[in-house]
Amino acid sequence: MTMPDRSASPAAGKAPPPSDSEIAVLEALAVEGTAIAARLASGLQVFHTRLLLVDPGRRFILIKASDDTAANARLLAGPRANLLAELGEWRIEFNAETPQTASHAGIRAVRFAFPASIAINRRRQQERAPVPRQSHLRCVGQAVGGARFEASVTDLSPGGIGLLHEASIPLEPGTVLAGCRLERPRKDPVVVDLEVRYTEPATLPDGKPGMRVGYRFRNPPPSIHSLMREFVGGDL
């Protein structure tokens, strides 16, 4: 399967609509029967499935329903689902809205509206340095819609960062958060633009549900390398 190379950066704050080549990847996943993880909007995984059909008219997609009636009910009760496939070095992630019961060629299915965006990324190519909690490194920024957030930093690399968010922050793969500040005590902040690569459920230090979000730096400033040296040492 050939993956698309989207070299252009998406507009700040908005995930770009699927390109023809990205839609072709979804169609190939359906033909090949690739395993897909279906997760609720909260990040909770409900079951593994596969794509049954990608509508040529780009109106809907169909996934195979679970044999677990309760799992299907949880998926159908939500406004949308997050669907994730990992294929070799590639990670394909997309959100689909308005789940409904359906069938396809005699197979029980769940129908969704066609995804508004598709994120296709290489899996991590650079090892990330863990960031100890006692470092007090945090990220302060604005999510889509202007909501301010503060998130703790879990790991860091020259190309990206991992943040631990409250579960209430809405983040779609491909979304760009401009002007985020990486802050720590007694040091100048590092200002970066972040692009969401993936999200997964996590537990906050106080035991509440949260999200771990992997980001890519867009045009990272040189000060990122100085920040990295604080945690891994040596030249980058």
Q: What is the pLDDT of residues 8-24, one digit of tens each?
A: 444 445 567 889 999 99
Residue 11 has a pLDDT of 45
Q: Where a domain ends, among 86, 103, 122? A: 122
Q: How many domains does the chain have?
A: 2
Q: Where a domain ends, among 65, 91, 122? A: 122
My answer on whether 77 and 141 are in the same domain is no
Residue 8 lies in a domain: no
Range 31-38, long-range pairs (CB < 8 A, 24+ positions): 32/1, 34/85, 34/87, 35/85, 36/63, 36/83, 36/84, 36/85, 37/83, 37/84, 37/85, 38/63, 38/66, 38/75, 38/81, 38/82, 38/83
Residue 1 lies in a domain: no
Residue 207 lies in a domain: yes
Q: Could you tell me the CATH number of the domain that includes residue 167?
A: 2.40.10.220
Maximal CA-CA distance, the chain: 64
My answer on whether 145 and 84 are in the same domain is no
My answer on whether 141 and 215 are in the same domain is yes
pLDDT tens digits for range 29-66: 999 899 998 988 766 778 899 999 999 999 999 999 99
> Any bridge partners for residue 40, and if so which?
81
Residue 192 has a pLDDT of 94
Given a cut of 50, the residues of the chain with pLDDT beneath it are 7-12, 234-236
Residue 5 has a pLDDT of 52
My answer on whether 101 and 139 are in the same domain is no
Residue 59 has a pLDDT of 96
Amino acid sitting at position 62: L
Residue 161 has a pLDDT of 92
Q: Identify which of 183, 213, 182 has the alpha carbon closest to the alpha carbon of residue 196.
A: 213
Please tell me the chain's helix, strand, coil percentages from 3-state DSSP, rounded to the nearest 5. 15, 45, 40
Distance in angstroms (rounded) separating the CA atoms of residues 57 and 19:
14
Q: Where a domain ends, among 98, 122, 146? A: 122
Distance in angstroms (rounded) separating the CA atoms of residues 118 and 22:
7
My answer on whether 91 and 174 are in the same domain is no
State the DSSP code for 43. Answer: S
Please state the separation of Cα 236 from the chain's center in Å.
Answer: 27
Containing structural domain, residue 60? 20-122
Q: Identify which of 199, 22, 43, 213 has the alpha carbon closest to the alpha carbon of residue 118.
A: 22
- Our separate counts of H helices and E strands in the chain read 3, 15
Rg (CA), the chain: 19
My answer on whether 93 and 147 are in the same domain is no
Q: Any idea of the CA torsion for 126, 39, 41, 85, to the nearest 10 degrees?
A: 40
Q: Is pTM beyond 0.85 here? A: no
Q: Could you tell me the CATH number of the domain that includes residue 101?
A: 2.30.110.10
